[in-house]
Chains A and B, each alone.
Chain A
Amino acid sequence: GAVVSQHPSWVICKSGTSVKIECRSLDFQATTMFWYRQFPKQSLMLMATSNEGSKATYEQGVEKDKFLINHASLTLSTLTVTSAHPEDSSFYICSARVLVLGSEAFFGQGTRLTVV
């Protein structure tokens, strides 16, 4: 399968600071990337859909000003958690897919964010 690299794999930050997470498709061009959040023992919750060169589409209840998404190229999308708070501590996962109907998504390794 295709390779999606997510960085960093874990990060600890102080409350009030911002954290940037990168998601890169290494061997294919990802026209669409998805950002998920997963709390312990819960399923993936889609936060936003990111298309290269356009604004991200956020799911209901997700604050777009808090979770900034940039999809500057066909191989890179970033998620910035601004003014992080302890309740933002979670496992953040990106996935990428080629713009073909029905194509499978490939997941990054995930980023464990802990806000102290």
Chain B
Amino acid sequence: QKEVEQNSGPLSVPEGAIASLNCTYSDRGSQSFFWYRQYSGKSPELIMFIYSNGDKEDGRFTAQLNKASQYVSLLIRDSQPSDSATYLCAVGPGGGFKTIFGAGTRLFVKA
């Protein structure tokens, strides 16, 4: 079992819709959770991080964490074509500093 799993996609949504990206992880001791966006040929850029169960909102982005289910998600409201990218879920294992990345979900927002 992979440590961090994501659906590779592509996930296609129309402009203005809500895009929902999901991620599960295997280490129950994980304490920190990150979402990165990566455009083709570019480095990942941090979108959000979340440490506690529940929701965290930042502009059009909402991260949701459920540690009991070992599940973290990212919602993008009012999706724009510029949101089209690969979204990487990353998890920081408990007690350590090494961040484990999922394989990423490709999102395509249709204009």
Q: Which residues of A contact B (CB under 8 A)?
A: 1, 6, 32, 34, 42-44, 46, 49, 91, 93, 97, 99, 101-110, 112
Contacts and interface: CB of A to CB of B under 8 A. Distances in A.
Contacts of A112: 41
Interface residues of B, number: 22
B97 A32 contact: yes
The majority secondary structure among interface residues of chain A is: loop
A93 B43 contact: yes
Contacts of B101: 43-44, 46
B51 A110 contact: no
Contact of A110 (B43, B97, B102): B43
Contacts of B98: 34, 46, 49
Nearest to A105: B99
B60 interface: no
Interface in B90-111: 92, 97-104
Contacts of B42: 109-110
A99 B42 CA distance: 25
B62 interface: no
Nearest to A93: B43
24 contacts: A6-B43, A32-B97, A34-B99, A42-B103, A43-B101, A43-B103, A44-B44, A44-B88, A44-B101, A46-B98, A46-B101, A49-B97, A93-B43, A99-B97, A102-B32, A102-B92, A103-B32, A104-B32, A104-B49, A105-B34, A107-B36, A107-B46, A109-B42, A110-B43
